[in-house]
């Protein structure tokens, strides 16, 4: 796609104090944004024609146990129009693991956020259907957290009654 002008300086100009930190290590342009107005920032990243990030490629979480904030929600955005990519990170404190849901902006956030909830216990505020996705409902804990022991056993669960289970439809 040819040479692309660096994004981070342009983003800093527009979003100013919303951007907490930034780097472009290994060529991956990255910004860390504030959590409070994260949804607006993401919406602007999608809708402003000079950025036009149509794709939310990935949304996941990293548990940096021992650091503050402990969790980091990591989103990888891509633009079809311009061919540029951006990593957007949001710090999430341990005592209040809530992140505004991106489902209103990108539909792909639905399943990706369910997975992040399943694996890390991040609650996505405004998610229409925040259920576990890869694990089962009676699973205890969030296994990709660093303080979840790798050899931990789960209690044996009784068979799920398919009739009594209340399936949720979108």
- Name the site residues for another protein (rule: CB under 8 A): 1, 25-28, 30, 54-58, 60, 62-63, 74, 76, 80, 83, 85, 87, 106-108, 110-112, 115, 119, 132-136, 143-144, 150, 162, 167-170
Give whichever of 14 and 135 is closer to another protein, judged by the CB atom.
135
Give whichever of 15 and 111 is closer to another protein, judged by the CB atom.
111
Report in angstroms how near the CB of residue 17 gets to another protein at its nearest. 24
User: What one-character-per-residue DSSP string does the chain give?
Assistant: ------HHHHHHHHHGGGEEEEE-GGG--EEEE-STTHHHHHHHHHHSTTT---EEEEEEEEE-TTSSS-EEEEEEEE-TTT--EEEEEEEE-TTS-EEE--TTT-TTHHHHHHHHHHHH--EEET-S----SSS-TT--S-TTSTTS-TT---PPPPPP-TTTS-----
**Where do we find the tokens 């990888």?**
76
Distance of CA 164 to the CA centre of its chain: 33
Report in angstroms how near the CB of residue 81 gets to another protein at its nearest. 11
Report in angstroms how near the CB of residue 77 gets to another protein at its nearest. 10
Report in angstroms how near the CB of residue 12 gets to another protein at its nearest. 20
Give whichever of 83 and 93 is closer to another protein, judged by the CB atom.
83
Report in angstroms how near the CB of residue 34 gets to another protein at its nearest. 20
Give whichever of 12 and 108 is closer to another protein, judged by the CB atom.
108
Give whichever of 14 and 78 is closer to another protein, judged by the CB atom.
78
DSSP 27: G
């Amino acid at each position: 796609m040819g040479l692309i002008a660096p994004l981070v300086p342009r983003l800093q100009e527009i979003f100013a104090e919303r951007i907490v930190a930034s780097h472009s290590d290994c060529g991956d342009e990255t910004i860390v944004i504030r959590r409070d107005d994260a949804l607006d920032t993401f919406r602007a990243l999608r809708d402003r024609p000079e950025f036009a990030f149509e794709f939310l490629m990935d949304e996941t979480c990293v548990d940096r146990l021992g650091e503050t904030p402990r969790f980091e929600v990591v989103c990888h955005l891509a633009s079809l129009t311009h061919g540029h990519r951006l990593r957007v990170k949001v710090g999430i404190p341990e005592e209040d693991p809530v992140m505004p849901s991106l489902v209103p902006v990108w539909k792909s956030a639905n399943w990706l956020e369910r997975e992040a909830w399943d694996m890390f216990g991040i609650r996505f505020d405004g998610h229409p259907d925040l259920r576990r996705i890869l694990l089962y409902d009676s699973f205890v804990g969030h296994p990709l957290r660093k303080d979840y022991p790798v050899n931990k056993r789960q209690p044996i669960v009784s068979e799920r009654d398919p009739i009594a289970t209340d399936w949720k439809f979108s």
